[in-house]
Amino acid sequence: MWDPKQYSLFREARRRPFFDLLAQVNALAPARVVDLGCGTGDLTLALAERWPEAEILGVDSSAAMLADAQTKHASSRVRFLQADLARVPLPGPASVLFSNAAIHWLDDHAALLAHLAGLLSPGGTLAFQIPANFEAPSHRCVEEVRALPRFASALRDVRRGHAEPLAFYLDHLVGLGFTVEAWDTTYLHVLPGENAVLQWLLGTTLRPIVTALGPEEGAAFLDTLRPLLQSDYPARPYGTPFPFTRRFVVATRVSSA
């Protein structure tokens, strides 16, 4: 259901949190670095450049995204694997698990953190960032349209993203034997073009929805959503301001607890 072309419309705005997270990872000479939710693999290459001696593995659940990654970026040192991020099979312990805007799609973050902790070698690092704007007007608008009788039954089982509070990640990771740095950053993007926030959401949040509804009902959903977003995010002569909060965690494993 993921569309690499749509996701790339706001490429630079989506890339920045990746590099803000990477700047806080202090691993010196990791043997194996895993990019969880690697998408098209463009940013996986940044991990390969940061750690030129490491084995790099990009993991994603989307065949469409990985088709781009395999074609453009696979090499003897950079490999890609299609797998469920909640049950990643690794050939051995990872030195760094890195995830940019992916694990918010997964349920039960307590179980997920325990699973990921078990994939790391002692001294290894788990670094991830996820959207933390699920109470923002953009998502409230989406939820308002989802709840309409025309769409509600078809979308009942369509997944939503979510983020736990910062303290949740701190408490669970400390309990798993990690030292933890965790913080939120709110970016104020200025999006170009018409219906800019709708176009942004079509790259991520709306993909499961329009896929489940199909072409005709998906178009009706977007037609209903569009004016709500335009009201909450009015365009300015220079673009559409779009505040977006992201949650960052960098955790280093200091024991096998």
Query: Tokens standing for 95?
Result: 């030195």
pLDDT computed for residue 9 by the predictor: 61
129 inside domain: yes
Which of 19-33, 34-48, 220-234 bottoms out in mean pLDDT, i.e. has the lowest? 34-48
Is the pLDDT at 65 greater than 60? The verdict is yes
- Do residues 127 and 249 lie in contact, with contact meaning Cβ atoms separated by under 8 Å? yes
Query: In Å, what is the CA distance from 238 to each residue of 9, 159, 196, 201?
Result: 17, 34, 12, 20
Mean pLDDT of 234-238: 97
Strand boundaries in the chain, DSSP class E: 32-36, 55-60, 78-82, 94-100, 120-131, 178-191, 240-253
Strand, helix or coil for residue 107: coil
Query: In Å, what is the CA distance from 146 to each residue of 36, 130, 133, 196, 208?
Result: 29, 22, 17, 20, 12
Strand order in the sheet with 94-100: 78-82, 55-60, 32-36, 94-100, 120-131, 240-253, 178-191
pLDDT class for 72, splitting at 50, 70, 90? confident
- State the Cα–Cα distance between residues 252 and 173, nearest whole angstrom: 9
216 inside domain: no
Mean pLDDT of 107-120: 95
pLDDT class for 257, splitting at 50, 70, 90? very low
221 inside domain: no
231 inside domain: no
pLDDT computed for residue 76 by the predictor: 74
61 inside domain: yes
- State the Cα–Cα distance between residues 119 and 105, nearest whole angstrom: 20
Sequence-ordered list of residues with C-beta below 8 angstroms from that of 68, at least 6 positions apart, any chain: 4, 40, 41
Terminal-to-terminal C-alpha distance of the chain: 38
183 inside domain: yes
pLDDT in tens, 164-214: 999 999 999 999 999 999 999 999 999 999 999 999 999 889 999 999 999
Is the pLDDT at 66 greater than 90? The verdict is no
Domain residues for the domain of 127 are 4-134+160-189+242-253
Give the count of alpha carbons within 13 A of 224, CB side only. Answer: 18
DSSP 8-class letter at 181: E
% of the chain exceeding 70 in pLDDT: 95
116 inside domain: yes
Say how many domains are in the chain: 1
pLDDT class for 67, splitting at 50, 70, 90? confident
- Cα-Cα-Cα-Cα dihedral of 16, 21, 27, 33, to 10°? -70
pLDDT class for 230, splitting at 50, 70, 90? very high
CATH number of the CATH domain containing 75: 3.40.50.150
pLDDT class for 145, splitting at 50, 70, 90? very high
Sequence-ordered list of residues with C-beta below 8 angstroms from that of 166, at least 6 positions apart, any chain: 182, 183, 184, 247, 249
148 inside domain: no
**The model's pTM:** 0.91
